[in-house]
């Protein structure tokens, strides 16, 4: 639909403006778009009236269709170009719904209706202004809300920044604590391993040689150990003043051109002997006085306070380990000397050969309570004894010597093996209530073809007959000597024809930790039965070695080993002249040295 208006006067312009506004309203154009259209039209109409002349306004409306919305187009041009030429101004608005434009473009002619229509056209402007005010209030509200939100965001960012800074500090503290904990764990592990290495040996020379191997290169570049006892036996080079101060005061000393700041360590000037390097001198303490001083030079990194504390503790443990080793060596030497002095010279008698072996344990103090003995009674009988005192060390060796002496004293008055063991049981119980022993006694008499024997808690004797048969004399023994029990130990008798061999031994020969004692006794019986009769008659000492060889081949010898062979030969048989002593007694082959 197209409408035109001829505009020459102000009234014509007002009617054209009213018609355009009504047409836009009739087609459902929004208030804002309608006001924008009318305002632009009013400005063009004002300019046209100022210019003068005759003008033509054309309004074309296109209803909406399926392809898109409709339009209202308002064009203004001079009468010369009118509807055929190009208009001087043109504006369009979109319409979403068909309108009723036929009545909308009719503008009343009377003045009152005309004025009402003209003034009512500004209602759109008023509504737009109201909407604008509402929008301004809304914008102001949102502006304030946005400002508060920005303030909150800024505060949040500040809090997040502070939280991030605190978190970074916590992370740094955690890393530092983790590093310190790892260093502490490493030092504790080193200290535990070093302590185990120091206490693994009872040889103080091995401990001294192992100390530098533990400390170099992680905690020291070089290690020098000064033992005061060494200065008494051999000449040493001069010692640093810091080491002398540590020996005199018993406190660690640090000698360098600057203070070390190490806890519990005194600072001294640089050493005159080593002015170019720091020295840490730590005494090796014991319960009474220092044994010596260990002098360290630092590794590539200087010692930390924790390193110094750990090194002082290690020196303390090393001093205790060296002191224990020296005490052990001292007691071992005394015990070995005592045991060598107690080795028995075996007696010689026609028709009876004796051979003994003693081997100390390869672990521990190496001195135990195992002993053997053989002596002659006033009636001509020969008593052979094998015993074992519980425990090791000097106390066991002393107790063994007392039992040996007591048994010899009892045997002078006579008595059978069972009676001698019974008296020895009472003696030990009253002398040492907390110490026990086992023993076996065999008595041989030249006028008898039997052997009388008795045992108290001891492994049974093993008898080899002249024909090579072997049997274990496992008659019920008595209980251990010294236990709080009244007992009468019984005697047992076995036939002993010429050519027989009786083996007495301690449990160290036959007992193994993994299998017990019975398999070992069977091995001993097999070894004894495998010996040739001629070898037993002519070389009993060699037979003892041949028996021990296979028995000890795979043994770690956790206990002492004793073996006493008693061989009955012809009455006229003579003892081995090569083993005789000037007084007619044969000395046994026995080893008490350290294996």
Token look-up 């107690």 returns: 342
The tokens describing 224, both together, are 């020098």
List the one residue out of 487, 333, 461, 330 whose CA is nearest residue 386: 461
Model pLDDT, residue 88: 85
Model pLDDT, residue 24: 83
Alpha-carbon separation of residue 348 from 304, 352, 572 (angstroms):
73, 7, 12
Q: How confident is the model at residue 251 (pLDDT cuts 50, 70, 90)?
A: very high
> What are the residue boundaries of the structural domains of the chain, listed by start?
2-121, 201-337, 342-579
Backbone angles phi, psi at 376, to 5 degrees: -105, 135
405-417 exposure pattern, b = at least 16 Cβ within 10 A, e = fewer: ebbbebbeeebbb
Helices (H), 52-201: 101-104, 111-120, 123-199
Asked whether 1 and 12 are in contact (CB, 8 A), the reply is no
pLDDT at 234 over 70: no
Q: How confident is the model at residue 577 (pLDDT cuts 50, 70, 90)?
A: very low
pLDDT in tens, 520-534: 999 999 999 999 999
Distance from C-alpha of 308 to C-alpha of 280, rounded to nearest angstrom: 9
Q: List, as one string, the DSSP characters of 92-110.
A: EEEESS---HHHHT----S
232: exposed, middle or buried (Cβ count in 10 Å: 0-12, 13-18, 19+): exposed
Alpha-carbon separation of residue 76 from 16, 23, 36, 91, 551 (angstroms):
10, 16, 16, 9, 136
Model pLDDT, residue 501: 96
Q: List, as one string, the DSSP characters of 554-576.
A: T----S-EEEEEEEE--TT----
Task: Write down the pTM of the prediction.
Answer: 0.53
pLDDT in tens, 117-143: 666 666 777 777 777 788 888 888 888
Kind and range of the H or E run holding 455: strand 450-456
Asked whether 280 and 295 are in contact (CB, 8 A), the reply is yes
CA angle 389, 395, 401 (to 5 degrees): 60
Model pLDDT, residue 580: 36
Model pLDDT, residue 573: 38
DSSP code for 453: E
91-124 exposure pattern, b = at least 16 Cβ within 10 A, e = fewer: bebebeeebebeebbebeeeeeebeebbeebeeb
Q: Which is it for strands 253-255 and 266-268: parallel, antiparallel or unpaired?
A: parallel
Beta bridge partners of 370: 388
pLDDT at 327 over 90: no
Distance from C-alpha of 506 to C-alpha of 445, rounded to nearest angstrom: 24
Model pLDDT, residue 120: 65
What sign does the dihedral 494-500-504-507 (CA atoms) show?
A: negative
pLDDT at 584 over 50: no
Distance from C-alpha of 527 to C-alpha of 197, rounded to nearest angstrom: 40
Distance from C-alpha of 258 to C-alpha of 249, rounded to nearest angstrom: 21
What is the fold of 342-579? Phosphatase 2c; domain 1 (3.60.40)
Residue range 201-337 forms a domain whose CATH class is alpha beta
The tokens describing 431, both together, are 């002398």
Distance from C-alpha of 321 to C-alpha of 260, rounded to nearest angstrom: 28
Q: State CA 64 to chain mean position distance.
A: 87
When pLDDT is averaged across residues 451-480 and rounded to a whole number, the result is 94
Q: Mind spelling out the 3-state secondary structure of 353-372?
A: EEEEEEECCCCCCCCEEEEE
Asked whether 229 and 353 are in contact (CB, 8 A), the reply is no
pLDDT in tens, 162-192: 998 998 888 888 888 888 888 888 888 988 9
Asked whether 294 and 212 are in contact (CB, 8 A), the reply is no
Beta bridge partners of 481: 437
Kind and range of the H or E run holding 388: strand 382-392
pLDDT at 102 over 90: no
pLDDT in tens, 62-71: 888 777 788 8
When pLDDT is averaged across residues 52-59 and rounded to a whole number, the result is 88
Distance from C-alpha of 457 to C-alpha of 479, rounded to nearest angstrom: 5
């Amino acid at each position: 639909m197209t409408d035109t208006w001829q505009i020459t006067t102000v009234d014509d312009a007002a009617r054209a403006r009213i018609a355009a506004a009504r047409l836009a309203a009739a087609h459902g154009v929004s208030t804002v778009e309608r006001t924008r259209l009318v305002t632009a039209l009013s400005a063009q109409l004002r300019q046209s009236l100022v210019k003068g002349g005759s003008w033509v306004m054309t309004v074309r409306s296109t209803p909406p269709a399926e392809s898109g919305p409709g339009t209202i187009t308002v064009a203004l041009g001079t009468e010369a170009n009118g509807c055929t030429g190009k208009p001087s101004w043109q504006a369009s608005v979109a319409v979403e719904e068909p309108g009723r434009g036929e009545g909308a473009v009719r503008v009343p002619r009377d003045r009152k209706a005309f004025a009402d229509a003209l003034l009512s056209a500004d209602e759109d402007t008023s509504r737009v202004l109201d909407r604008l005010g509402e929008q301004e209030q809304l914008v102001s509200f949102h502006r304030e809300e946005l400002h508060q939100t920005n303030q909150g965001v800024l505060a949040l960012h500040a809090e997040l920044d502070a939280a991030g800074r605190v978190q970074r500090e916590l992370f740094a503290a955690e890393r530092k604590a983790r590093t310190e904990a790892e260093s502490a764990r490493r030092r504790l592990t080193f200290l535990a391993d070093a302590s185990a290495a120091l206490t693994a040996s009872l040889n103080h020379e091995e401990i001294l040689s192992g100390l530098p191997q533990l400390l170099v290169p992680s905690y020291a570049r070089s290690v020098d150990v000064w033992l005061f006892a060494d200065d008494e036996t051999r000449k040493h080079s001069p010692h640093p003043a810091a080491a002398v101060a540590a020996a005199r005061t018993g406190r660690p000393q640090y000698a360098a051109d600057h203070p070390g700041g190490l806890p519990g360590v005194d600072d001294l000037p640089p050493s005159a002997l080593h002015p170019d390097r720091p020295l840490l001198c730590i005494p090796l303490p014991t319960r009474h006085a220092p044994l010596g001083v260990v002098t360290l030079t630092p590794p590539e990194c200087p010692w930390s306070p924790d390193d110094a504390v750990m090194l002082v503790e290690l020196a303390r443990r090393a001093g205790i380990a060296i002191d224990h080793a020296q005490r052990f060596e001292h007691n071992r030497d005394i015990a070995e000397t005592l045991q060598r002095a107690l080795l028995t010279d075996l007696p010689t008698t026609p028709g009876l050969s004796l051979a003994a072996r003693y081997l100390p344990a390869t672990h521990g103090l190496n001195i135990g309570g195992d002993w053997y003995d053989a002596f002659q009674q006033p009636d001509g009988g020969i008593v052979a004894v094998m015993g074992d005192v519980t425990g090791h060390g000097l106390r066991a060796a002393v107790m063994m010597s007392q039992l040996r002496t007591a048994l010899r004293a009892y045997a002078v008055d006579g008595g059978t093996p069972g009676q001698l063991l019974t008296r020895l049981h009472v003696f030990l119980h009253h002398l040492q209530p907390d110490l026990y022993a086992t023993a076996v006694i065999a008595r041989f008499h030249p006028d008898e073809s039997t052997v009388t024997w008795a045992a108290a808690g001891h492994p049974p004797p093993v008898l080899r007959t002249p024909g090579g048969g072997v049997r274990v004399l496992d008659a019920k023994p008595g209980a251990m000597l010294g236990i709080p029990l009244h007992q009468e130990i019984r005697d047992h008798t076995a036939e002993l024809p010429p050519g027989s061999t009786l083996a007495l031994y301690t449990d160290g020969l036959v007992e193994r930790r993994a299998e017990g004692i019975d398999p070992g006794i069977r091995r001993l019986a097999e070894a004894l039965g495998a010996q040739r009769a001629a070898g037993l008659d002519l070389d009993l000492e060699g037979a003892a070695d041949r028996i021990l060889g296979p028995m000890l081949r795979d043994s770690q010898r956790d206990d002492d080993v004793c073996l006493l062979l008693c061989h009955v030969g012809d009455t006229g048989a003579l003892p081995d002249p090569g083993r005789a002593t000037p007084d007619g007694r044969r000395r046994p082959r026995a080893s008490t040295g350290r294996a």
